[in-house]
Homo-oligomer: A and B are copies of this chain.
Amino acid sequence: MYEMHFGVPMTGAVLNPINTRLDAKTIAIILRHAQPKMLFVDHEFAHLAREVLRLLPFDDSQPHPLIIFIDEIGSPRKHSSEELDYEGLIRRGDLTLSSSASMFRVHDENDPISLNYTSGTTADPKGVVVSHRGAYLSALSSIIGWEMGISLVYLWTLPMFHANGWTHTWSVAASGGTNVCLRHVTAPEIYKNIDLHGVTHMSCVPTVFRILLEGRRNDGSDKSRPIQVLTGGSPPPAGLLEKVQRIGFQVMHGYGLTEATGSVLFCEWQDEWNRLPEHQQMQLKARQGVRNITVEDVDVKNTKTQKSVPRDGKTMGEIVIKGNSVMKGYLRNPKATSESFKHGWLNTGDIGVIHPDGHVEIKDRSKDIIISGGENISSIEVERVLYGHLKVLEAAVVAMPHPLWGETPCAFVVLKKRETNKGRGEEELVTTERDLIDYCRENMPHFMCPRKVVFCQDLPRNSNGKILKSKLRDTAKALVVDEVNAGYKEVHRHGVSHVSSRL
C-alpha cells in the first residue's frame, strides 16, 4: 500500500485505497463506482478479492480489473496462469535511475492523485477525489504542525486506506523518514518494533491507546525519549491521554476528514500550559486545536445564519473548512458534492465551539454518524439493511458508548404486525436480537453491525414526524453498563489478535 502511494501516481493513474475491513458486497459497490483498471491485492485478502470479483458484473462496458497479488515478502506462492504477482511485475519494469525521465509528470496540479471512499453521512460509499496539490500541501502541513522532523522513524498503526494514512504516506517520504509497517496491530508487535527501529512517531485512533495500555513495554527498552503520537478520529478522553502519556507516549490531538485530505486542526502545545496541573493539560489536549498552516480557513458557523459563532467556548455551530486541501468533490455524485459545499465552505457536519484562544473543540458529531474504532459508520446505511429484513417495520440506529471502540451501533426496531386470523386485532411478528444481528452480519461489514438491538412499540418523533434520535441516544447511553462487561468479555475471549483484526 505504501509503494502504491508513489508508484500509482508515477504512472499517471489515480490511487484508490480500499478499506480492508469492508465486506465483499461493499467493495463491489466501490469497484463498480470507481471502475479501476488494476486491483492490487495483499495475499491476506485474496479470498475476499475473489469473492468481490464474483459479485462484479463482467461485460464489455465494464471489464474486470486486472488483479495483481502481493505475496508475503520472502515467501512467494504459486499463482494460476491468469494471476499476476506484484514482485514479478516490478521485476519486469525498468528500474534504472535513468528511467525516471520517463516518469509521468502531472500536468495540472489540480488533477486527482487519489480516490478515497468514505461511508460519510449517507448510505452509499462516496468517492472523495483528492488533488495532487491538496495532497502535497496537506502532507507538508502535517510535517510542520506535528513536528515530524528530519530524523523521523514512523510506525504505521494507522491504516493507509484511511485518507491515505492522513497523508502521512507522503509526509514520511517528504521528511526523508523511515516507515515501519505492521501486519497486525497488537501490543507485542508495537512494542517490539518501537525498540527494534527506534520509533519516534506514530499516529492512531484513540482505540489503539487501550491496546498500548493492555500490553507491556519491554523493561530493557529506551524510554528516555517519548514517542510522539498523533491521534484523531474520535475525541480521546482526558483520562486515557493521561494514562498513555505515563507509559512514554507524548500525544498530540488532531482533527481531520477524508474530504479535507487528512488533518485540518492540530492541538498545538503552548509552553505556558506546562505550568498547569496534569489533568487540566489533558483537557486542553483533548480539544481539536487550531488550523494547520496550509488550510486557508476553519470556522465554526451558526447553521442557520451562517455567521461565525463567538469565541466563547460555549456557542455551538458547524465546523466549516476552506482551502487547498479540501477535496475536489465526490466522484460522479454532483448532488452530494453541492450539498457538501453549500455556502462556499466544506461543511463537515461536526458541531463544535471556538475557545477564546482560537482552539476549536468538537462538542457533538453530526447526529447520524457513529464512530467506532476510528471508522465512520453511517446510521442510515445500517438502518437500510435492517429495513431489508422481512419482519422489520421501522429501524433507527444511534451510537452507544463502547469502552473499546468508543462507540458502537445500537438499533431501535419496531417489528411488523400481522392481522390475526379472526380479524379481531393484530399480533407482532416474532424475531430475536441474535437473528437481526446475524442478518446484519450477512449484509454489511461486521464492524458496522449493531451490537445491541432494542425492540420497541414506537419510535419517539417530533411534531414533524421526524425520529428524535437524541432521545434514543439517551436510552442507548443507559445500556452502556451491560455492554462494558460484554465488551470486555468478548475481548478477553478472543484475545488480542481479535482486537487487532478490527483496526
Residues of A within 8 A of B (CB): 140, 143-145, 147, 149-151, 174-176, 268-269, 271, 293-294
From B143, B176, B268, contact of A176 by CB (8 A): B268
From B140, B144, B150, B268, contact of A269 by CB (8 A): B150
Question: Which residues from B are CB-within-8-Å of A151?
Answer: 269, 271
Kindly report which residue of chain B lies nearest to residue A136, judged by CB atoms.
B294
CB distance from A122 to the nearest CB of B (A): 33
Question: Which residues from B are CB-within-8-Å of A174?
Answer: 144, 293
- Contact status B150-A150, CB under 8 Å: no
Kindly report which residue of chain B lies nearest to residue A296, judged by CB atoms.
B105
Complex formed: what's the CA distance from A293 to B294 in Å? 15
- Contact status B150-A268, CB under 8 Å: yes
CB distance from A176 to the nearest CB of B (A): 7
Question: Which residues from B are CB-within-8-Å of A145?
Answer: 150
Kindly report which residue of chain B lies nearest to residue A144, judged by CB atoms.
B143
Q: List 19 interface pairs A-B (beta carbons < 8 Å), by A numbering.
A: A140-B140, A140-B144, A140-B293, A140-B294, A143-B144, A144-B144, A144-B150, A144-B174, A144-B175, A145-B150, A147-B147, A147-B149, A147-B150, A150-B268, A150-B269, A151-B269, A151-B271, A174-B293, A176-B268
Complex formed: what's the CA distance from A149 to B140 in Å? 13
Tell me which of A147, A151, A269 has the highest count of chain B C-beta atoms within 10 A of its own C-beta. Answer: A147
Kindly report which residue of chain B lies nearest to residue A153, judged by CB atoms.
B271
| A144-B175, A147-B147 given; 6 more Cβ-contact pairs under 8 Å | A140-B144, A144-B150, A144-B174, A145-B150, A150-B268, A176-B268
Complex formed: what's the CA distance from A176 to B266 in Å? 13
Question: Which residues from B are CB-within-8-Å of A269?
Answer: 150-151
Complex formed: what's the CA distance from A151 to B252 in Å? 14
Kindly report which residue of chain B lies nearest to residue A143, judged by CB atoms.
B144
Question: Which residues from B are CB-within-8-Å of A150?
Answer: 144-145, 147, 268-269
- What 7 A-B pairs are tightest by C-beta distance, nearest first? A150-B268, A174-B293, A143-B144, A147-B149, A140-B140, A151-B271, A147-B150
Question: Which residues from B are CB-within-8-Å of A143?
Answer: 144
Tell me which of A143, A175, A176, A293 has the highest count of chain B C-beta atoms within 10 A of its own C-beta. Answer: A293
